[in-house]
Structure 1
Amino acid sequence: MSMRRQGFAAAAAFAVFSSAAFADSPNLGRLATPEEIAAWDIGVGPDGAGLPPGGGAPKQGEAIFAAKCAACHGEKGAGKPNDTLVGGRGTLVGDQAPVKTVGSFWPYATTIFDYVRRAMPLNEPKSLTSDEVYAVVAYILQLNGVIDENEVINAQTLPKIQMPNREGFVIFARGK
């Protein structure tokens, strides 16, 4: 038998035997229900698509941040032990080391909402209510000088916020 035929025969035998092995598998797992999928289908786009009802102001966010965020991000988002959230404006150009924070780097306020909502606090992701997320995001934006301390953000106002680095990204065409 030629090498090519031996290879084909081996592949066919593997397919037959592995199919039989899979048929005898413990049948672990199941399809997710529509309710389970909906619970995780919480993405928010740069245009605000997917933002939930609710709202919050920096003052409300300050208390939530102190209780649930400051242990990782420091007082007023100054950093340590995790990422610094405040400052860094003007450091993305020139010879100095860039400081990538919410105020210096992130292009969309809605992206901050999306990230906080699905990933924070680190030890209890997805535990904040929509109002708490809006409030924490408002507080972080206020600390970065993006909004004032009396501004309330919600699904209508958040997408309209112009982040300082909105135009700082270069769009390029991938290979043709």
Structure 2
Amino acid sequence: MAALKKIVASIGCFTLMGSALAHEQGHFGIGTQATDAEIAGWYIDVAPDGKNMPDGHATVADGEQLYSTACAACHGTKLEGGIGPALVGGEGSLATSKPVKTVGSYWPYATTLFDYIRRAMPFQQPQSLSNDQVYAVTGYILHKNGLLEADAEIDASTIRNVKMPNRDGFYEDDRPDSIAKACYDNCEVD
């Protein structure tokens, strides 16, 4: 029993010393402070209104070529779906018993499509596309949904100005737990 008391006392002593050291250093004494560059690497989301769209540009033709090599294996050669979901079709199906939710029939903002591709695609290697490549693929998908001309140049302005067919198909959710104000700089914490 005496040995157990000594062990407990030793653990308590080390805990107090560790706690005092952590308090003195201002942190737990592990890890490093994130640099501005490291933080910027994670700050890549694009808002529905297009805030935080990166520099870059491409053409629909650039997107067609890239789609065939980086996207078609999952989404089909004609964007009809396969392992991944279909990206075209579904017009007029949302009110039916079997809605087909595609970029052209369901998504409310072209900026959201850009954001999703930039952060999550291609599935096997997310965030591997350059901004120009993301503009290209986004433009090609929008073109195949009849939202951009075949000779369109795609950049932040082009994507912000695309009016998606289902943009007005969503409504504001006024439940208190779902209301969030978008903030990108000097945000107040509630």
Do they superpose with TM above 0.5?
yes
In structure 1, the partner of 2:110 is: 109
Whether 1:146 and 2:141 are equivalent positions in the alignment is no
Query: What is the Cα-based RMSD across aligned positions, in Å?
Result: 2.4
After alignment, is 42-51 or 99-108 more displaced?
A: 42-51
Q: Quick one: which of 71, 76, 79 aligns to 1:77?
A: 79
Q: Quick one: which of 26, 33, 36 aligns to 1:34?
A: 36
Provide the rounded CA distance (Å) in 2 between the counterparts of 1:83 and 1:22.
56
Change (3 A) 1:71 1:27: farther
Deviation at 1:111, TM superposition (A): 0.5
Q: TM-score, structure 1 length as denominator?
A: 0.82
In structure 2, the partner of 1:8 is: none
In structure 1, the partner of 2:46 is: 44
In structure 1, the partner of 2:159 is: 158
Whether 1:23 and 2:24 are equivalent positions in the alignment is no
Deviation at 1:33, TM superposition (A): 1.8
SS in 2 for 1:167: helix
Residues 49-60 of structure 1: pairs in structure 2 closer than 5 A: 49-60=51-62
Residues 92-107 of structure 1: pairs in structure 2 closer than 5 A: 92-94=94-96, 96-107=97-108
CA offsets 1:24-69 (integer angstroms, 9 cap, x no match): 8996543322111101101111111111111122111011011111
Provide the rounded CA distance (Å) in 2 between the counterparts of 1:120 and 1:21.
48
Change (3 A) 1:62 1:173: same
CA offsets 1:70-129 (integer angstroms, 9 cap, x no match): 1111112111111111111111013x3011110111100001111101111111111111
Q: Which amino acid aligns with 2:175?
A: R
Provide the rounded CA distance (Å) in 2 between the counterparts of 1:22 and 1:84.
59
Aligned residues: percent identity?
47
Provide the rounded CA distance (Å) in 1 between the counterparts of 2:86 and 2:119.
19
In structure 2, the partner of 1:133 is: 134
Provide the rounded CA distance (Å) in 2 between the counterparts of 1:126 and 1:42.
10
After alignment, is 63-72 or 22-31 more displaced?
A: 22-31
SS in 1 for 2:169: coil
Q: TM-score, structure 2 length as denominator?
A: 0.76
Q: Which amino acid aligns with 2:15?
A: A
Q: Which amino acid aligns with 1:69?
A: C
Misfit runs of 4+, over 2 Å:
21-32
Higher relative contact order (CA 8 A, sep 6+): 1
Gaps of 5+ in 2: 1-10, 23-27, 178-190
Gaps of 5+ in 1: 1-15
